[in-house]
Structure 1
Amino acid sequence: MTAGAGRVPVVLLHGLTDSSACWPTVRHRYDRDGRVVVALDARGHGGVPLPDEPFTIAALAQDAARALRALGTGPALVVGHSMGGVTAEELALTAPELVAALVLEDPAWHDGWVIGAVDDADVVGLAGDGAGTAGASGAAGTAGARGTAADGSRGKPAWLGASIAALAGRTVEQVAARGRIENPTWSPEEVRGWAEAKTGLDPRLADVPHDWAAREWVEALADVRVPVTLLTAEPGRGVVSPRQAERAAELLGRAPEGLLTHVPVPGAGHSIRREAPEAYLAALDAAVAAADARAARG
């Protein structure tokens, strides 16, 4: 696979319960200029088989590395949301030759055994008894998840099983209809991709053991050697806390002298690119332009 002349490939890694269908806005922006854009599906998502083994960030990064080596992308700008954010970080640590830069959208940095916030609990409450979770943009849903411990295995959100059960038998159209109600500011394309992802989950994803805590993700940034753009939500509405963002800046140094560009997005929740697309795309454009410029300098 050959990238457009002078254009660094862009690799997209989705969050838990999302899929490669969840990047329409980003893909439309970069597909048209001849740039290679690759959206990968994690195991158990988007129809990809789920092995009978623990669901770990290390395994997700290994899967991504195999896919990118097979595609021959070379060093890429790796963009990750939530679970995809920590997968991208793990990829930069274990396969640095594949990563030119990172863009982390509210990555799933944890505190102890608890997922730091709602993660990808934007699986809306489709069950009549409220078995699902609140929409990602709801502050109440975020606050509830922030205090919810993993359900017996390291890092698995307690909401996951009920959310997947609530999706059973639902069509894309049914999920999309509820998604438009729960997330009225999202574009139709984003709602459709989100709904396609929810109906393509392997239901066993909630049954296998999870391990999201093999690294202390913020501290692990000390070993990252590429530029990082960190997009964070309104405090209290996303995963990454102000304390974590400040620690990331201490470890990486702030651009331009250091490696970290922190882009807080006021008013946005966990799904920043869906809730604040202009701010998100401006940050992504800057990261892409910088990666292209570094590649041109060799």
Structure 2
Amino acid sequence: MTTDAGVGSATGGAVVHGDAGAPGGAGDAGDAVVVHRSERTLGVDGRPVGYTVWGRPGDALPVLLLHGVTDSAETWDPVARLLAADRLVVGVDARGHGRTPLGEGPFTIASLAVDAAAVLRHVADGPVLVVGHSMGGLVATELTLTEPGLVAGLVLEDPAWDTGGVATPDGVPPFLAPFLLSFAGVDAETLEARSRATQQDFADDEHGPWARSKAQLDQRLVHVPHDWSGRAWVEALADVRVPVTLVTGDVGRGALVGAAHVERVRALLGDRFTHVAVPGVGHSVRREGREAFLAALDGALGRV
């Protein structure tokens, strides 16, 4: 059962990357437009799931945006505004992130995909382009495999195929506890200043959403069981039947996906696979190389 409660939040203008007539709708730099944005909550089996909607339904293919661990739907805002000039764009808050409570159950990729599917059925009339960053790339893949009728194409931004070592006995990735603790009790203003000092490659409008997402985190996230490895994620892509675009940065700058991963996916998917390598950026490709990332999305929209 699902129920929906809106939180009124109309927003101002954005510079559109491309004109409405370009294939895929992103294209070249365009004119400023007003993009409507609203924050909403959907009741899914008695649990609230927070999500954000940019733009309005139209003829252009909708886009679903799935964030990485410790982020939130808001962290997609700079990109979502550019996409939403002529289409519906939706971002979902994972459990324990943004406006979605952690709840009492385990934190699993499968459960996050269930939440995303419920939101999609509620707001979209048909298949969408699903875009996932890091952990969101795993959720996007799970959603594509379990709900193929909801997905027209898949874009993976440096997905978390390798979480950097052996997980705890409860399945928590090894990096997560100290990373989460670094945000405990710190307000968003202080976190934004920290981001500007330490993440100088980010586009200027990325620091605020990044900081607010960290301030919203439920610190209990590392105290519940996790399951990030319900599938062998690279091999699982063999069962994906829609076009897949993989966007990667430089491993030397912190990107997770290396050349061996890319070649294996190419072997599995053949002509359904497109790889976009963005030089000079790390794990957060869109934050450090927005134009290249938008071009990759434009290509993915064109292919579906």
Higher relative contact order (CA 8 A, sep 6+): 1
> Same fold, TM exceeding 0.5?
yes
Alignment-derived partner of residue 290 in structure 2: 277
Structure 2 residue corresponding to 1:181, chosen from 175, 190, 197: 197
Alignment-derived partner of residue 273 in structure 2: 260
User: 1:26-37 alignment to 2 at 5 Å?
Assistant: 26-33=79-86, 35-37=87-89
Give the share of equivalent positions with the same residue, in percent: 52
TM-score, with normalisation over the residues of structure 1? Answer: 0.80
Alignment-derived partner of residue 300 in structure 2: 287
Alignment-derived partner of residue 92 in structure 1: 144
Q: State the alpha-carbon separation in 1 of the partners of residues 147 and 175 from structure 2.
A: 32
Q: State the alpha-carbon separation in 1 of the partners of residues 212 and 192 from structure 2.
A: 8
Alignment-derived partner of residue 9 in structure 1: 62
Please report how far the alpha carbon of residue 208 of structure 1 lies from its aligned counterpart in structure 2 after TM superposition: 0.5
Are the equivalent residues in 1 in contact too, given 2:170–2:224 (CA < 8 A)?
no
Q: State the alpha-carbon separation in 2 of the partners of residues 250 and 166 from structure 1.
A: 40
RMSD: 1.5
Please report how far the alpha carbon of residue 225 of structure 1 lies from its aligned counterpart in structure 2 after TM superposition: 0.5
Alignment-derived partner of residue 201 in structure 1: 217
Alignment-derived partner of residue 258 in structure 2: 241
Alignment-derived partner of residue 130 in structure 2: 78
Please report how far the alpha carbon of residue 185 of structure 1 lies from its aligned counterpart in structure 2 after TM superposition: 2.1
Please report how far the alpha carbon of residue 24 of structure 1 lies from its aligned counterpart in structure 2 after TM superposition: 2.3
Are the equivalent residues in 2 in contact too, given 1:24–1:189 (CA < 8 A)?
no
Which range moved further: 261-270 or 156-165?
Answer: 156-165
Alignment-derived partner of residue 212 in structure 1: 228
**Matched pairs, number:** 249
Q: State the alpha-carbon separation in 2 of the partners of residues 152 and 238 from structure 1.
A: 26
| Deviations 1:4-25, CA, capped at 9 Å, x for gaps | 12x1000000000000111122
Q: State the alpha-carbon separation in 1 of the partners of residues 181 and 203 from structure 2.
A: 26
- Partner letter of residue 162 of structure 1? P
Are the equivalent residues in 2 in contact too, given 1:47–1:201 (CA < 8 A)?
no
TM-score, with normalisation over the residues of structure 2? Answer: 0.79
* Runs of 4+, deviation exceeding 6 Å: none
